[in-house]
A and B are shown apart, each in its own frame.
Chain A
Amino acid sequence: MLTKDDPKLDQLKQTIDQVMQKPYSDSYLIAVLHKTQALYGYLPEDIINIISVDMNIPTAHIWGVATFYHYFNLTPQGQHRIAICLGTACYVKGAAQIVETLKQQLKIDMGQTTADGLFTLRPARCLGACGLAPVVMIDDTIHGELTPKKMSDIVNKHRRQAKKK
């Protein structure tokens, strides 16, 4: 829930103030949503309502935009975001097996988050690392030339690190 003095919200408001000074300020809606996601990890409903008021854009329109683009998450994300590439190069080189490995190991489907909140699994369309196919991106790190074994080792490593903390 939002509290009055949320430093993230202050940052967001700053961004909104800046874009409202510019011509065609409505056109910065997507930029503001990017900022929101960067701060919160997803697009919380309360924040959308605030954006709606501050930018003077109907919430219906904002949700329309937010749901149109795959990049925006509408639910909270796990601590580690696993994006598995389903682009052509990765597909041709066996991405399907990596998907299977992950689904089995994490016991979740695409788009879901593990019960412990550690991982969110989502598909990606080409991470631009086709030379290393098949590829997954965990948070901001690319892991390439994967095999089912290599993949599950990587997941286990993240699990161990999380335990240590």
Chain B
Amino acid sequence: MQQGMRHLSTLLDEQLERHGLKDRVKINVSGCLGMCHKGPIMVVNPGYTLYGGLEEPDVAQIVREHLIQGRPIARLVIEEDHLFNRFFRIFGDVNFFGKQMRIALRNCGIIDPENIDDYLALRGYEALAKALTDMTPQQVIDELKTSGLRGRGGAGFPTGLKWQITADQVSGEKYVICNADEGDPGAFMDRSAIEGDPHTVLEGMMIGGYAVGAAQGIVYIRAEYPLAIERLERAMAQARDHGLLGDHILGTDFCFELEIRLGAGAFVCGEETALIQSIEGARGMPRPRPPYPSVSGLFGKPTLINNVETWANIPVVIVDGGQWFSSIGTEKSQGTKVFALAGKVVNTGLIEVPMGTTLREIIYDIGGGIPHGKAFKAVQTGGPSGGCLPADYLDTPVDYESLAQAGSIMGSGGMIVIDEDSCMVDIAKFFLEFTQSESCGKCTPCREGTKRMFEILTRISDGRGQAGDIEKLERLGDMIKKSSLCGLGQSAPNPVLSTIKNFREEYEEHIRDHTCRAKVCPSLIAYAINDACVGCGACKRGCPVNVISGRTKQKHTIDQTQCVRCGLCLATCKYDAIDKV
């Protein structure tokens, strides 16, 4: 802009006027594209041609040759490393974005998610058109295999292989499903991806339907996400109006229908066989695999299930090619991963980084570190199925193998930063309370085992832990992992086992010394009023059990024998007069 773009835009306007293109070309004066050294810059859509170093005569030439004759002008195109090109042309070099790379979220925050024209302007449905007209289903699958894309829902199964197996089944009826159940309590990647760019997911699913030979797609989404549901519905209606959904899509023989089914708040329904049960209208109980859904899934028919983020990657793989996609990331984990960064970190939010970025880069460079000068303690990935990694592991690159080796998992993308104010026994207990109550109850190791583990953890955090409890937890955990029916049980002990492995001394302190160093576990701490007390009486009025006494304007005291350690007094006090001891 500073380099005379306003002038160029007026020129462009005149040129369009002269050629009678005014109502067919829309000029968007965009924000910074982050390549200030190459300015002035112009992007021509569709096709996303990036022109740089423009001078006045160039404008007329672009209109004449590119807009009218459809021939981009090679001389003016900025050739950058493709990988950076795609990213920079959208986001620029802001610190928060500096280490990021957006593929699945490429349009989020950029387009109006309620307007299909915005999506179309950024090469939307180009992948679908390319697949339907230039590629056979097998070529689509081969492209996916080349890309190395792996499932983003947690397990990291190679997507191309899954598609191949589903395509190879002989059946007149097949289904594709988008898993948008997002069960991890502390993650919001899928919600944001759908809310920000619903068409990408739909386009991915249609390509999937074409590749495996399915005519019906289903999005299974949490009922807790009303806005995402609304945007999906609107996107479906718009796609239908544009001939992109329904019978004979884009004039080809390919017909595809989509339907939304709502979840109803059960974590286990994120597991694919349970999800299928739920769509069938039953209790969401997993069943043993094999047969895998690819062979026998919804209504007993071959079914392709992928996660939201996996689907969102598909159009990019098709348009930009598997080869390009596989150049991003690490050798075994290609592409990028979206994380929901939350907890004790300065910049919370959704981020997308190339696989292989280290935890340190994510937490400190992108996340801005820990607020209030506190010390980093652990980072939790993978939610209730994952683990907590301490500071020693901060240089672990995020990819499927490295995280697993470090004792956690990639998971679906939840990433919670934990500082010194959290107790690791308490965190383990938190997750186990969750999995234990979400266990569907079908298999004994998971149903009973997690309950026993939870009891032991409760005992420890209450200061009633016994020697040998840690070993008992390890033994039980190991057993549950080996003998449970589905992924829920097989991974439920992970938060406990990983905190024992990395923070064993905290467990020992609880058991042996009856202390909680983070001052979290209620039974092991007390609240006391110090000399800063001005006697305002706020804590006294707020105390739910009325155990605080003292006259107005005099120091108050807490009756320790009656106190339930809810911590409300500490939260109410404006004078820092209450300490945890």
Which of A30, A68, A96, A124 is within 8 Å of B261, CB to CB?
Answer: A30
Which of B184, B284, B340 is within 8 Å of A68, CB to CB?
Answer: B284
* A interface footprint on B178-189 (CB within 8 Å = 1, 0 otherwise): 000011111110
B390 at the interface (CB under 8 A from A): no
- If A30-B264, A65-B283, A128-B224 touch, whether A93 touches B344 (CB-CB below 8 Å) is yes
Stretch at the interface among A10-18, A74-82, A83-91, A153-161: A83-91
Q: Would A92 and B422 count as touching, CB distance under 8 A?
A: yes
Which of B184, B264, B542, B571 is within 8 Å of A33, CB to CB?
Answer: B264
Docked Cα-Cα span, A140 to B567, in Å, equals: 29
Docked Cα-Cα span, A65 to B281, in Å, equals: 8
Q: Would B223 and A34 count as touching, CB distance under 8 A?
A: yes
Closest to A99 in B: B566
Docked Cα-Cα span, A90 to B431, in Å, equals: 13
| Residue with the greatest number of chain A CB neighbours at <10 A, chosen from B186, B188, B422, B431 | B186
* B interface footprint on A125-155 (CB within 8 Å = 1, 0 otherwise): 1111111010000001000000111000000
* A interface footprint on B416-432 (CB within 8 Å = 1, 0 otherwise): 10100010000100110
A56 at the interface (CB under 8 A from B): no
Q: Would A140 and B226 count as touching, CB distance under 8 A?
A: yes
Q: Would B184 and A126 count as touching, CB distance under 8 A?
A: yes
- If A88-B186, A93-B344 touch, whether A124 touches B430 (CB-CB below 8 Å) is no
- Expressed in whole angstroms, the minimum distance between the Cβ of B413 and any Cβ of chain A is 12
Task: Scan residues 177-215 of chain B and give those whose CB is less than 8 A from a CB of chain A.
Answer: 182-188, 191-192
B147 at the interface (CB under 8 A from A): no
- If A71-B265, A131-B349 touch, whether A28 touches B343 (CB-CB below 8 Å) is no
Docked Cα-Cα span, A126 to B186, in Å, equals: 5
Q: Would B185 and A125 count as touching, CB distance under 8 A?
A: yes
A7 at the interface (CB under 8 A from B): no
B118 at the interface (CB under 8 A from A): no
- If A86-B185, A101-B568 touch, whether A93 touches B266 (CB-CB below 8 Å) is no
Q: Would A27 and B279 count as touching, CB distance under 8 A?
A: yes
- Expressed in whole angstroms, the minimum distance between the Cβ of A93 and any Cβ of chain B is 7
A29 at the interface (CB under 8 A from B): yes
Docked Cα-Cα span, A148 to B539, in Å, equals: 12
Q: Would B281 and A88 count as touching, CB distance under 8 A?
A: no
- If A88-B380, A126-B188, A129-B188 touch, whether A24 touches B280 (CB-CB below 8 Å) is yes
- If A88-B380, A92-B343, A140-B226 touch, whether A29 touches B416 (CB-CB below 8 Å) is no
Docked Cα-Cα span, A72 to B571, in Å, equals: 34
Docked Cα-Cα span, A83 to B436, in Å, equals: 21
Inter-chain contacts of B414 with A (CB < 8 A)? 88
How many chain A residues sit at the interface, stated as a range, is 35 or more
B503 at the interface (CB under 8 A from A): no
Q: Would B280 and A131 count as touching, CB distance under 8 A?
A: no
Q: Would B343 and A93 count as touching, CB distance under 8 A?
A: yes
Docked Cα-Cα span, A149 to B51, in Å, equals: 55
Which of B182, B223, B348, B571 is within 8 Å of A148, CB to CB?
Answer: B571
Inter-chain contacts of B226 with A (CB < 8 A)? 140
Closest to A91 in B: B430
- Expressed in whole angstroms, the minimum distance between the Cβ of B378 and any Cβ of chain A is 10
Inter-chain contacts of B187 with A (CB < 8 A)? 126, 130
Which of B224, B267, B416 is within 8 Å of A124, CB to CB?
Answer: B224
A100 at the interface (CB under 8 A from B): yes
Q: Would A100 and B566 count as touching, CB distance under 8 A?
A: yes
Closest to B380 in A: A88
Docked Cα-Cα span, A88 to B267, in Å, equals: 14
A49 at the interface (CB under 8 A from B): no
Docked Cα-Cα span, A160 to B560, in Å, equals: 36
Docked Cα-Cα span, A28 to B224, in Å, equals: 18
- Expressed in whole angstroms, the minimum distance between the Cβ of B111 and any Cβ of chain A is 20
- If A65-B282, A130-B348 touch, whether A88 touches B572 (CB-CB below 8 Å) is no
- Expressed in whole angstroms, the minimum distance between the Cβ of A37 and any Cβ of chain B is 9
Closest to B268 in A: A68
Q: Would B223 and A71 count as touching, CB distance under 8 A?
A: yes
Inter-chain contacts of A72 with B (CB < 8 A)? 264
Inter-chain contacts of A27 with B (CB < 8 A)? 279-281, 299
Inter-chain contacts of A70 with B (CB < 8 A)? 264-266
B324 at the interface (CB under 8 A from A): no
Q: Jot down 17 A-B pairs with beta carbons below 8 A, ordered by A.
A: A26-B280, A68-B266, A68-B440, A72-B264, A87-B185, A89-B186, A89-B348, A92-B343, A92-B416, A100-B566, A104-B544, A104-B566, A125-B267, A128-B224, A140-B226, A148-B571, A148-B572
- On A, residues with C-beta under 8 Å from B are 24, 26-31, 33-34, 61, 64-65, 68-72, 86-93, 96-97, 100-101, 103-104, 124-131, 133, 140, 147-149
| A-B complex: 4 closest residue pairs judged by Cβ atoms | A88-B186, A69-B264, A71-B265, A29-B281
Extra contacts besides A24-B299, A125-B434 (6): CB < 8 Å:
A27-B279, A29-B282, A89-B342, A130-B188, A130-B340, A133-B343
